[in-house]
Structure formats: structure tokens, C-alpha cells
Amino acid sequence: MSDTRSTPTVRVDDLPLAHSRTEGWQALRSGGDVVESDGTYVLVSAEALEYACRHPDLFSSERAFDSLGSPLPLVPIAVDPPEHARYRRLLDRFFGPKRMALREPELRAQAGVLIDSIATGETCEVMDDLAVPFPTQVFLTLFGLPLEDRDQLVRWKSSILELIKPAAAASEPTSEVLEHATELFGYLSGYVSERRHTPGDDLLSQLLELRDEGGMTDEEIIGLGFLFVLAGLDTVTSALGFAFATLAGDESLRARIYEDPEIIPGFVEEILRFEVPVPFVPRVTTSEVTVCGHTIPAGAAVLGGLGPANRDPERYVEPDVFDPARVGAHFAFGAGQHRCLGSHLARLELRIVLDEWHRRVPVYALEAGARPSVPWPSGSLNLESVPLRLGAD
């Protein structure tokens, strides 16, 4: 089919997402299903995004992540079918809901300790005190690594994430970022080597013991760990920040969660839809393709819009209204074959934190004058600060 529509231009970096994702996504949606931004094609609507997700042969994830120049295979996100299917067959068993549920008591206890230390005070910075450290502890726990390494891991992660900011693609990484990436590589490599000789009952040991379909190499397992640090920790941190900012500004909803924790799972799904942590996923076209009437040339950089698709009025009733009773799927974890490997773990973490928090701190509010915002442009949507007053009326 030949293209019969011109592709409008909407500059993604100029979207007003810092203070209002609603205004930002509305501005992007005004361009239609597909727009162009600085030479990159952006899939805006749910229909356009789903088309790309259903056709990984046309929209390569592997070629998109090649641009990072990682010396490690970022398994499984930077691998295309058919090899991607092998990795998912090997890994899905470790990250399914039943396997993750086995970890709940330990993770719940850790969340409780962190929240207990917060609940004794009158104020807290929920990002620094809870939303950043807890997902990091979860990673360390799953991989059988020392919890005392938490703060160092956070420093490495925060530095290396500079690599995936949009502006970073056009510039060389700083010596500090390269140094931190090397240190994280060495850290993970050391524990992989240790577990090869002295296995335990942790996820790292279990991955090393895989024999099905040839198992995984040390480099692939290190790449998986690297990816978890870069992608898995920050997304949960982001969702927790948005969750607390939303609840701190809505006394009625806060009270409902305290009185009936059974609504927490629905709240989690809606916060993921409404304030999606990862706004876009990168792809590169392998051949010329037409999406929703717009022709995208071969070899083009593409951004799959998880954020705007989650606000598509063709898919959701009143998409710009936050409704924790909303029922239906969303795109926060992607779609298709590259759907997020850690989605069940992320949901578990979010439910645990919100449940344990409201057992201990049912009443709280934003500090006077606080206006949580995200830095933009950025590779993820993450509130910089969510200062709370505890026990406030």
C-alpha cells in the first residue's frame, strides 16, 4: 500500500511532560497516529503501537539497542526473534506470578523495615527513603547479592542511566559513566564467577545451572543482570513516586485504600496506565512499512509510544481521567513478544509497598508548596522529589 498521508511533525523533546503528562500526551496525540520528531517516527496511537508489537520482524529491537554499543547482550530486550523466543522460554519460568509469589514474605518483610524507619518521623522524601532503595534491595535479594551493596548499586544505576537519555545518543558517554559501567560489569562478573564454583539457591545460581536449549553463557547472564539494573529498578521507582504523589493529593482515595486494601491491585494498574514509567520503546525498521496510512522507510528510527497509547481515546473511555476502578489492559509493560519480562515482579513490589505503607502510615500529604515534576527529556518518567508530611490532616 502506498502512503496517502503526510506525517506531521511534533517535537517530542518539547512536549510539556515535566509538569503534566496529560497536557504532554494530548499535544502528541494532536498529530495523529504517527508523527515525526527530529527524524524519528513516533507511533502514537494504540493501533500503531500494537502493529509494531505484532511485527517484530519489521520493527527490530535488536538494531535499536545496538546503538548503545553495549559490550554485553542485553537479554532478552535487545534480541529479535527467533532467538528471542528461546530466551523467553528459558527465563519466563523464573519470573512468572507463582515463582514471584514465593518471594513475597521476604520482600514484604524488607519493605516493612524500610517503612518502619520512615513512620517514626514527621516528614519523608519518599523517593530517596523508599522508592529508590526498595527495588534495589529486591534485585539484590533475587540475585543473592549482599543488601549492604544497595547504595553503591544505586549510584552505578543513576550514573549509567545517563546513557539512555535522548540527548545521550548524540554524544559520547563521560569518563565517569564509563567508569561506573565498568565497575558494575566487574561487580556482576565477580558474582557470576563465584556462583559457578559455589552455587546457592538464588536466581543467579539457578540461571547458571540452566541446561535446556544450551542454557545461557556468563556474558548473557551478566547482560540480563545489567538490564535489570538499568530497566527494572527505575521503572518501579517511577511508579512508586507517581503512586504516592497521586495518593498524597487525594484524601478520599487514600482513605479507601486504607480501609480496603483489596483495591490496591486496581490502583496499581491504573497508575501504570496513567503515569507510565517508560514513555517510549525504541525500534528500527527492517524494511519499508506502512502504519495507519503512514509509510516509514527501511532503517528508520522508531519510538513506540507506550505513554500516548495508554491515553488513546479510541481505546479508553475518558483516557485522561485517573480511575482506579478502570478494568482493561494497558501498555505500561509493552505488548507482543517483547512484553516486559519482569512485569509480575514489578506488580508484586508495588502492591507490597502500598499495602505495608498504609498499614503504618494511613494519613499523609504533600509538603506545602511541593509540585512534583519529572526531568524532561529523559528515557524514563521519574519524579525527582515527592516530599511528604506524615500524619497530616
Of 261, 256, 254, 240, the closest CA to residue 347 belongs to: 240
DSSP 8-state code for residue 9: B
Residue 68 pLDDT > 70, yes or no? no
Q: pLDDT band for 168, please (50, 70, 90 cuts).
A: very low
* CA distances for 99 relative to 91, 92, 199, 342, angstroms: 11, 10, 19, 12
Confidence band, pLDDT 50/70/90 cuts, at residue 191: very high
User: Which of 310, 301, 320, 307 is closest to 381 using CA atoms?
Assistant: 307
- pLDDT per residue over 219-275, tens digit each? 999 999 988 988 889 999 999 999 999 999 999 999 999 999 999 999 999 999 999
What whole-number distance in Å separates Cα of residue 145 and Cα of residue 188? Answer: 9
pLDDT at 306: 98
361: left (phi over 0), alpha (psi -120 to 50) or beta: beta
- Per-residue pLDDT, averaged over 275-296, amounts to 97
Phi, psi of 200 (to 5 degrees): -125, -155
Question: Residue 246 in 3-state DSSP?
Answer: helix
- A 10 A CB-CB count for 264 gives 20
**What's the N-to-C CA distance of the chain in angstroms?**
61
With a cut of 90, say whether residue 181 has pLDDT above it.
no
| CA nearest neighbour of 344 among 126, 101, 70, 157 | 101
Residue among 384, 365, 359 at smallest CA distance from 373: 384
Angle (CA) 184 186 190, round 5°? 120
Q: What is d(CA 186, CA 222) in angstroms, rounded to the nearest whole number?
A: 10
pLDDT-wise least confident of 166-170, 213-217, 259-263, 304-308: 166-170
pLDDT over 80 (residue 150): yes
What b/e readout covers 126-157, taking b as 16+ CB neighbours within 10 angstroms?
Answer: bbebbbbbbbbbbbbbbbbbeeeebeebbebb
| Arithmetic mean of pLDDT over the chain | 93
Q: Give CB contacts under 8 A, 24+ apart, made by 192-201.
A: 192/218, 192/221, 192/222, 193/218, 195/144, 200/144, 201/144
Q: Is the pLDDT of residue 169 over 50?
A: no
Phi and psi of 113, rounded to 5°?
Answer: -65, -45
- Top-level CATH class of 12-390? mainly alpha
Residue 133: helix, strand or coil by DSSP? helix
> What would the pLDDT profile of 1-42 be if each residue is shown by its tens digit?
344 578 999 999 999 999 999 999 999 999 999 999 999 999
Residue ranges per domain, the chain?
12-390
90, 359 Cβ separation under 8 angstroms? no
**Cα separations (Å) of 304 from 55, 127, 236?**
12, 27, 20
